[in-house]
Structure 1
Amino acid sequence: MAERLLIRALSGGKSTKIITLHGKKMKMMPSTLEKLPGLRTLDLQNNLIPKVCPEISTLIQFQNLKLREFYCEGNPLFLKQPIIAAYKEDDVWSLQEITSRFIMHQLAENNPFLMHAIEWYPEVRNKISQQKKCAVCGNPFITPWLECVQFVPPSKNWKISKNLHLVPLQTFTCSRKCFTHRSRNLFGIAQT
């Protein structure tokens, strides 16, 4: 059935705008999609596709396709297996990180001395303006200990697929201690 739909789409050539292969039990992403320059919507939801094919995995191919909508939910595209991250027991912050955290904490407490003094040091203002907030403790920091991803419900005003319940949000943790006390939906990002 999926093969017939693809053949029909390919015969349409440049005029093919939408391909819907929703729930067709496909195990591979069709590599012939690069031959459809007019394609705007591609729906491959709820199949058995484990990886993106080389023909459309590169950004160049997606730019050539000029896709406006791409649906791939319900495919095993991501490895959902947790791994144990190796870490050093003696994580030591730099002097600049310690000082930055102290200054940001004091500014949050409205310390009048530091609030006045910070006006004379534009390089310090510039550095602390790059602060991030820890996803666990909420404290500000400059150098992240670990980049993480947190899955959150999408905003009500987003235009998304109805069966998309969570979206990934990039977050950071400030220390190993915070990472070990994280919530269940916060995951560290590691290269494997």
Structure 2
Amino acid sequence: MLRVSDDDAGAFEELVRKYHPRLVRLMRAIGPSPELAEDLAQETFLRVFRARERYQAGAKFSTWLFTIAGNVARNASRTMRRRHEVNEVDAPQSPDDNPGAGILAGTALDASGLMPTRQVEGDERAEIVRQAIRSLGERQRTALMLSRFENMSYAEIAESMELTPKAVKSLLSRARVNLREILQAYMDNGSSPVEEQE
């Protein structure tokens, strides 16, 4: 990023290549709609480029990047609420669109060649987990994604979300409890947790 701040276009391309997949995955989870993830990731990189001259190497670059990403996602959510836009297709359609739920639901099914019914069950579980993650509040979802899928420490998440590490720990604890509660109906009787909450 220091090279980018000196207008090194090659360094910026390198940052985009390195962080783009992670940023898109994060935006699918914390943005207002998974379909907007690519656009929000591009908007984040545009803001990074615009702020290049003001960048100061204090924290890790990824922490700074994810702080900007969180702001972009919040702004997009506010804009969508103001416009009262409703997205008919709320859930990702493929495992690639999944913000990590495939890992939670068991990615071994995809490569195992198991019976088709087990594959369908695995896909169903992944979709249920995706819905459960998306039903969390924005802050809980963001903290969970940064912790679980970006492997950020409490301190890094706190800096990225402008919270204290203690607040992040509490937020993650509540997110896990809420996920457990949301998924309990599915675990008990196979019903969709999102249907139960509506």
TM-score (norm 1): 0.27
Query: Which is richer in strand?
Result: 1
Bigger share in helix: 2
Point out which structure has higher relative CO (alpha carbons under 8 A, 6+ apart). Answer: 2
Bigger-Rg structure (1/2): 1
